[in-house]
Amino acid sequence: MYHNIVVHMDILKRIIQLRDERNWTNYRLADEAGVPYVTLTNMFSRGTQPSIATLTALCEAFGISLAQFFSDENDEILLSEEEKELILSFRTLSKKCKTAVTTLVDQLND
């Protein structure tokens, strides 16, 4: 079953979708993921699939798991509009800002 999902999914389109949702450039995505910029540009210009290591790094930058990357939109958890806005805003933050927000939320929950 997992194999069928991978075969039918356009991985590069999914990466572009996630990048565009965050209003990131390829340069920012490479920086956030710790992946060489040339790796991304070659991947997109040649239409090659990312390695598992590259895809894992990209997912970490996007703040999602590999399972979430490959999940069908129908598998998503239902969120309120407020929760959706928070998540979309969080996704656009730098790693440093994400850490600060996470720390603040943890402190508020104590």
Q: Do residues 39 and 83 both lie within one domain?
A: no
Residue 52: what residue type? I
**Pair (6, 37) in one structural domain:** yes
CA distance 69 to 55: 9
Per DSSP, the three-state class of 10 is coil
**Per-residue model confidence as pLDDT tens digits over 8-28:** 468 999 999 999 999 999 999
Domain coverage including residue 53: 1-76
Q: Give the predicted TM-score (pTM) of the model.
A: 0.64
The predicted pLDDT at position 39 comes to 94
**Are 47 and 86 within one domain?**
no
- Are 30 and 42 in contact by the 8 Å Cβ rule? The answer is no
Residues 46 and 83 reside in one and the same domain: no
Q: Give the model confidence (pLDDT) of 29-64 as tens digits.
A: 999 999 999 999 999 999 889 999 999 999 999 988
**SS3 sequence of 25-89:** CHHHHHHHHCCCHHHHHHHHHHCCCCCHHHHHHHHHHHCCCHHHHHCCHHHCCCCCHHHHHHHHH
76: confidence class by pLDDT, cuts 50, 70, 90: low
CA angle, corner 88, sides to 84 and 94, nearest 5? 150
Return the CATH number at 65.
1.10.260.40
Residues 21 and 5 in one domain: yes
> What whole-number distance in Å separates Cα of residue 9 and Cα of residue 53?
18
Count the domains in the chain: 2
User: 73 falls in which pLDDT band (50, 70, 90)?
Assistant: low
